Amino acid sequence: MNRLFFVIVLLHLSFTTAANFTQVFEWPDGMDFEWPSEVERTQALESGASEPDKIIEPHFMAVYRTRIFVSLQKSRRIPENGDCNKIEDATGLEVDTVGRMWVLDDGSLHCNSKLWIFDLSNNDKTNLIHHFPSSYYLHDLVLDETLNGYFAYIAQWGEEDIVVFGLERNQSWTVETPGIKLFSIALSPKDEPRQLYLSNLESNELFSISVTALHNGNLTANPKLIVKWTAVPYRMLMDNHGTMYAAFWKKNYIISWNINQPYQKRRIYEVEKLNTDWPFTFALDSSGTFWMTVFNKTGKKSSYRLLKAAVGEKPYYIRDCQTTADASQGKRQTDYSALIGSLAFFLVLSCTLNIWLTLRMRKSKNSNEKCNAGAVEKPTVQNPV
């Protein structure tokens, strides 16, 4: 199984009035990690442990204030280090209403799957690490804030099980979904009764189930068939008015559909060709901006773009009337951040190299930045928009 790296992108929020996507940043020559030294990079390349052009594939994204978090899948040829105290395989990222980021960690051959909670408003302090009883094949999570505390619902890739974690109880359990091999997962807005949406890996079917059925320990659930997509979505996301965004395996478009209305999908983004299995990652921020990466493998080199569009809708976890600290902070910033000012990247961890690596944005081939070990935030190029 491929391991994931985990990257944070820092940027200034910006706001536009147009619903159109605008490009925020581009990596035309691919991404590479910034190695501690050129010697180590050369060694890694020679040993075949790293192929910068092929290893980096964005998979999940979350946004909190001025920071974008992206998990990256890397080449299977990079060996596992078997350090269970590190994030090994980030297969889901979500931010909650109080500024915590939940990271789903699939684990490895040596380590069970885990769920990490970081406090982004308090120096990214680790609040909790939940160790699941075994190594699952986890794929994306959603967070449900209830009167009985937070629940995380997690899909197991290709398995007939939802994994549920109850924060208050500090316990996890599984709920069976007989006949439905799960893939992607989404949660309806906070209005009751809340529905969990599940896609089936082996068909184009979309199901839903009431979340109250998931709260009480080990059970069997019988999700209800909602609709048949035309493809299999690997990522679904809902806003706080019931619009579902979905991206599909090998498909070069993203659709949206208001789930409260008859099934009618709208392609909100479409390009001719990308040649990638997993072309997009996306997330909504609390000020109504839809952020997205586009991964393009049609040329000789992989290229990546970061785009945004003002859709005016907030993520599913924000109540309509709710004014979060986050949203008000966003408003305050509107005046002075009409444009993306600067970007900074740092790789939070590298499971294999056991050091912190900075992600290098290769704007030009002959960039000769000094490499740094350690947690480095690197202000970089001017806004290319």
Ligand X SMILES: *[C@@H]1O[C@H](CO)[C@@H](O)[C@H](O)[C@H]1NC(C)=O
The residues binding ligand X (CB under 6 A) are: 18-20, 128, 131, 170-171, 173, 217-218, 271, 296, 298-299, 303
Tokens 């790293």 belong to residue: 50
In DSSP terms, which residues pair with 314 in a beta bridge?
none
Give me the least distance between CB of 372 and ligand X, in Å please.
30
Which of 12, 131 has the CB closer to ligand X?
A: 131
Give me the least distance between CB of 263 and ligand X, in Å please.
22
Which of 163, 238 has the CB closer to ligand X?
A: 163
Tokens 């986890």 belong to residue: 138
Q: Which parts of 47-177 fold into alpha helices (H)? A: 52-55
Q: For residues 373, 302, 300 and 247, what is the CA-based torsion angle, rounded to 10 degrees?
A: 170
Cis peptide before 79 (omega within 30 of 0): no
Which of 22, 323 has the CB closer to ligand X?
A: 22
Which of 171, 220 has the CB closer to ligand X?
A: 171
CA diameter of the chain = 58
Tokens 């979905």 belong to residue: 246
Give me the least distance between CB of 128 and ligand X, in Å please.
5
Query: Which strands form 243-248's sheet, in the order they lie side by side?
Result: 233-238, 243-248, 253-258, 266-270
Which residue number is nearest to ligand X in terms of Cβ?
299
Give me the least distance between CB of 203 and ligand X, in Å please.
28
Which of 128, 227 has the CB closer to ligand X?
A: 128
Give me the least distance between CB of 15 and ligand X, in Å please.
14
Confirm if 96 and 145 have CB atoms less than 8 A apart.
yes
Give me the least distance between CB of 248 and ligand X, in Å please.
16
309, amino acid identity:
A
Query: Which strands form 138-146's sheet, in the order they lie side by side?
Result: 138-146, 149-156, 161-166, 171-176, 219-220
Which of 228, 266 has the CB closer to ligand X?
A: 266
